[in-house]
Chains A and B, each alone.
Chain A
């Protein structure tokens, strides 16, 4: 499979020259159908893994947009996922008590998750917009650390360490003979994720994305050319948080529970690992990153189990090896491969397309991707706007 297969893919659908939003929509529909078709090839456990990957993808897509486009480094996305998970679980339990179930309960709860995560993100974003680099990282770090404390101080609502359990959503009756519950969960996760990520991708390539880049490139310059930098940052943080919250809601849907022990600092850092090795700012990279962080520990676990090591050695290796590999990946990718997997693939597969191909070589991926459209001068802001509308 090589790159040119993709345009062929698109032309099969009778839209060889789609651009802008329609193109995005077609792409996302195709990818969603591929993923849903893929679930038929997988056994239940791998469908479960696929659902988890989809949930992580929501979070990493939001995080990569935040870090890559606006330059706000959040170490707290696990807490925002948890906010979504708790929003989902609390709404679901209230709905169950009110006699609502099935698809209606799922949708209402998802709205609950979006509202809670959105509010949490808005509050955090308001604070974040005033802060720079390490200060923001420190604040978000403190939020993750405080999460278990919050759940146990308000244990009447959040039930402390044990977290919340919700009623089980089975396969709808008309599909029950066809698919297993894990496959159904994967479908739901894929659908919700594709909607969420499509919205993000739309924002990213539209005016909002441009403003985020402008703010990241040079905040003062952006302000001078009329971009409300503070509002752009808060908006980006809120959208990113909602996306993470949807991820948390999906995890809660798949596992029927949410608890603080699942959203630790280590998990927050893992999300960061995913977006960095995927390539900061790249949505495709966020997807690959989500795949890597779910599958790599499992592959390593399977490999060490196959080695038949002595029990105590295996015990020490278990868990630690994957953290070691993630740490090394994080260092190596940042130091020598800053575009991540996506950047490296992009370099290897330059595509003849649109204006980019018109003589201009694809810029090396190791330039910090988001900063490029707006570097130092205000004039480049106004330059990049027509570029955007041309497409």
Chain B
């Protein structure tokens, strides 16, 4: 029982990060109809920025802020500098360009900073929080959960309650009509990319300290799992990303705890296959998946 509680808590904390990253993928998908395979690599660049800033100033919080800014800046640069050139005719040119971008960013980081893992410290107490005598969370895990939930709530508010959110949604779903109504669709697209990349950078920044340390490949698995989450939840659905994230986080944690860590990727694959066969557009797909 203790064991189960513990695994559930761990899975929840990890799942929150997956959900956040998956949400960033959903944002881009909704705005640009592109699965951004470069999201992980872009986020890791922003995390390097945060690492540098924290190293220079000694402040974790300045690093966190700079990661968000850097993430937005990278989103801007990628949208304006690269993705604009994706030919519209071919359905997967966006995916292929994004994959090219992953290669460019990761190898550039490798050339500049080398392959070694750089430890990232966090300003939190290492002592665990006990519930009923069972250590469930470290304070950092709690911080991760709170931040993830807060950011998701803020995004929900942004999209449903503000004029900017309305414009973002409008230009994603009906670009021509929105343009006629005076929405600057192109600018909305760029804002969507910036927002998404910033969220992804935050997720990466939250995850890296729990792993070996920062290196150019730090977000490889995060991307794969978050992508699974987004597909499981439905690429069109932000609530799907949230719930999918928690489901995948819990599945990985429970499978690792009870069956062994080697089985985890297989479990994720099985989950993906089952969901896709039952609902090819993801659990929360409102309608049949569009032709990508």
Contact = CB atoms under 8 A, between A and B. Distances in A.
A107 B266 CA distance: 32
Given A127-B276, A130-B280, A141 B103 contact: no
A331 B100 contact: yes
Nearest to A75: B99
A327 B272 contact: no
A328 interface: yes
Interface in A136-154: 137-139, 141-143, 145-146, 148-150, 152-153
A273 B100 CA distance: 8
Contacts of B86: 334-335
A335 B227 contact: no
B164 interface: no
A316 B106 CA distance: 12
Interface string B240-276: 0000000000000000000000111110110011001
Residue in A134, A138, A269, A367 whose Cβ sees the most chain B Cβ within 10 Å: A134
Interface residues of B, number: 53
A153 B276 contact: no
What is the interface of chain B mostly: helix, strand, loop, or mixed?
Answer: helix
What is the interface of chain A mostly: helix, strand, loop, or mixed?
Answer: helix
A133 B292 contact: yes
Given A130-B280, A134-B235, A323 B265 contact: no
A329 B100 contact: yes
A204 B258 CA distance: 48
B96 A334 contact: yes
A12 B77 CA distance: 55
Nearest to A269: B99
B93 interface: yes
Contact of B231 (A67, A138, A323, A371): A138
Contact of B277 (A130, A149, A323, A334): A130
Shortest 4 CB-CB contacts between residues of A and residues of B: A133-B292, A327-B103, A330-B100, A327-B104
Interface of B: 29, 35, 82, 85-87, 89-93, 95-97, 99-108, 110-112, 114, 220-221, 224, 227-228, 231, 235, 262-266, 268-269, 272-273, 276-277, 280-282, 289-292
Given A130-B280, A135-B281, A366-B87, 8 more contacts: A127-B277, A134-B29, A137-B95, A142-B272, A265-B220, A276-B96, A316-B112, A330-B100
Interface of A: 67, 71, 73, 127, 130-135, 137-139, 141-143, 145-146, 148-150, 152-153, 265, 269, 272-273, 276, 315-317, 319-321, 323-324, 326-331, 334-336, 338, 366-368, 371
